Amino acid sequence: MKDVLLDEKLRILAGLGADLRNRDFLLTWEHSLEEIRSVLLTAQCLRELDEAGRSIRVFDTGLAVSIFRDQSTRTRFSFASAAAALGLTPTDLDEARSQIAHGETVRETAVMISFLAEAVGIRDDIFLGEGHRYMQAVAAALQEGYERGVLARRPAVVNLQCDLDHPTQTLADLLHLERHCGGIDELRGRKFVISWAYSPSYGKPLSVPQGLIGLLTRFGMDVTLAHPKGYDLLPEVVELAAKQAGAAGGAFRVTHDMAEAFDGSEVVYPKSWAPIAVMRRRTELQRKADRTALADLEKEGLEENARFKSWHCDEALMKRTAAGSALYMHCLPADISGVSCPRGEVSREVFERCRLETYRQASWKPYVIAALIFLTRVPDPGASLRRLVEAGRPRIL
């Protein structure tokens, strides 16, 4: 397989000099730009090989453990797909069916499931202040186990969505943007809008919008965050986005007017999330297990949302974007008016027109997860990638 582009990618990858070995991937902003770019390049290489019918298997055996503390379809399958493509056996820890209910500690469980594991993918996104902390606790336990000779290898903890960030989603989004714009350097100055949109559902996590402003501002994009008053994101992530935009020569601003945000934008990402005040109270009430107050809070949350039904991505709004043809993005599933609910985030017309493009956006996620496992677990990722390119097996014998 002679491929000039692949070869060029491998050369750039080597030049970046990033080293993710024996590390975790929890928040994009904890990683250098070189590390982020290495993930993107590796994901592109793995996808190119896979789509050319080449095997990207680098593990003869091993376990890839997933822990889903919230429902998931696409991330669950992306993780299983990535694991299987690399040669690992995906195995889910179903906490309801395990002994964890018996009072076992997180620290202990983390080690017990990891004796022959290469990666532990975790989704824990519902409660503010919980998910990231849980992932850190798992990572610390694995690090201790590795350093103290309990574990022969150090599995990577991969964040499959926490309360702060959703890196496998936003890196997939970034790859979709890169392909759409014709290169990572082409993102500079592009007008990107992440906007709140109405949804009849309650308690959607903040991690996607936070992840987007925390990642895209580093690539010099002109990022606008739009939401009704009260639907703020975590202030530390908003501050980080502003700082990063300044450093990268891009822009970042917050507005409370969806239509104005869409004016002249090149990419729009209209998506619902919960008011931060509701999320905070919910976490408190959950700790107290106060079911009555939780039910009241849900009712209030839905009523509050309903005040902003006009935050709806329809063709009229899309017409206001640059040349009336901004790229529409969504992490899926979208709340589609007249399809999945009477009134939601996006009109049936806009979604149907852009539907396959959102599927293409989603299609990057398995390769992002594969790249993260590859870079954290393979001893010499550059050499291994080169070997896959030069002498790889066909995927179907």
For residue 74, the minimal CB distance to a second copy (Å) is: 4
Q: How far is the CB of 111 from a second copy (least distance, A)?
A: 5
Nearer to a second copy among residue 159 and residue 161 (C-beta): 161
Burial annotation 88-105 (CB, 10 A radius, 16+ → b, else e): bbbeebeeeeeebeeeee
- Return the structure tokens found at 5: 């582009």
In whole angstroms, what is the distance from residue 209 CA to residue 219 CA? 16
CB of 78 to a second copy, least distance (A): 7
- Could you say which DSSP state residue 354 is in? H
Does the footprint of a second copy cover residue 72 (CB under 8 A)? yes
Contact window for a second copy (CB under 8 A) among 67-75, 182-190, 211-219, 297-305: 67-75
- Bridge partners of 65, per DSSP, are 91, 120
Residue 95: helix, strand or coil by DSSP? helix
Q: CA distances (Å), 336 to each of 114, 200, 241, 341, in order?
A: 40, 11, 29, 6
Nearer of residues 213 and 370 to a second copy, judged by Cβ: 370
Q: Applying CB under 8 A, does 259 fall inside the site for a second copy?
A: no
Tell which positions 289-348 bind a second copy, by CB under 8 A. Answer: 332-333, 335, 339-341
251 bridge partner residues = 222
Nearest alpha carbon to residue 372 among 18, 55, 8: 18
The answer to the question of residue 61 lying near a second copy (CB under 8 A) is: yes
Do residues 89 and 76 lie in contact, with contact meaning Cβ atoms separated by under 8 Å?
A: no
Asked whether position 84 contacts a second copy by CB under 8 A, the answer is yes
Q: Map the footprint of a second copy across residues 125-184, applying CB under 8 A.
A: 144-145, 148-152
Query: How many Cβ atoms from other residues are within 10 Å of residue 283's Cβ?
Result: 15
> Considering beta carbons, is residue 30 or 94 the nearer one to a second copy?
94
Q: Does 55 bind a second copy (CB under 8 A)?
A: yes
Contact pattern from residue 210 through residue 249 relative to a second copy, giving x for each residue in contact according to CB under 8 A and a dash for the rest:
----------------------------------------
Element (H, E) at 192: strand 191-196
Q: Which stretch binds a second copy (CB under 8 A): 60-68, 154-162, 220-228, 281-289?
A: 60-68
Please report how close the Cβ of residue 396 comes to a second copy at its closest, in angstroms.
Answer: 6
Residue 331 contacts residue 228 (beta carbons within 8 Å): no
CB 172 to a second copy: min, Å: 11
